[in-house]
Amino acid sequence: MEGDVKLELETESPPEKPQKHDSDAADLKQGTDYAEEKEIQSSNLETAMSVIGDRLSWEQKAKQGREKELAKVTIKKEDLELIKTEMEISLAAVERSLREHMGNVVEALVTLTN
C-alpha cells in the first residue's frame, strides 16, 4: 500500500447564510417577558396588600376590643377632676390614664408625669 494515494473528497457544503436577527421575534419575547414580570409583580402586590389588610383588620378589632374593656372601667369623677386641675392635663388624657390603670390614681399620676 505504498502507492496508495489518499484522496480527500471535498464536499461542498452550502454557503452559510449570514444570521439575520429576527427583530420582531426578539421584540415579542421582550414584551412577553415584561408582561409576565408585571403580572408576577401584580400578583405579589395583591398578596402583600391582602396580608396588610388582614393585619390592619386584626389590629383594628384588637383596638376596638381594648377600647371596650377600658370603657367598662369605672373611675371616680373626683379623681378625674383632681388630676385634671392639679396637673393641668386635658380631661381626655386623664380619663384614659385612669382607665388604663383600672382607676388607680397613683399609677395614673406616675404615667402622666413620666
Mean pLDDT on 103-110: 92
Residue 38 counted as domain residue: yes
pLDDT value of residue 84: 92
How confident is the model at residue 44, as a pLDDT? 78
- Please tell me the least confidently modeled range out of 1-10, 50-59, 95-104: 1-10
Whether residue 15 lies inside any domain: the answer is no
What domain range includes position 100? 73-114
Q: Which has more pLDDT, 79 or 28?
A: 79
H helix intervals, the chain:
23-72, 77-87, 91-100, 105-113
CB contact at 8 A, 103 and 74: yes
Spell out the long-range contacts of 45-53 with Cβ–Cβ below 8 A and sequence spacing 24 or more: none
Instruction: Please report the pLDDT score of residue 45 as a whole number.
Output: 78
pLDDT at 108: 92
- Would 53 be classed as within a structural domain? yes
- Position 13 pLDDT exceeds 70: no
**φ/ψ of residue 112, rounded to 5:** -70, -30
Cell readout for 71 is 370603657
- Clarify whether residues 62 and 77 are in a common domain: no
**43-58 burial, b if ≥16 CB within 10 A, otherwise e?**
eeeeeeeeeeeeeeee
Q: What's the first-to-final CA gap in the chain, in angstroms?
A: 111
Total domain count, the chain: 2
- pTM, two decimal places: 0.48
Q: What is the pLDDT of residues 24-65, one digit of tens each?
A: 666 666 666 666 676 677 777 788 888 888 888 888 889 999
Say if residue 114 is in the same domain as residue 80.
yes
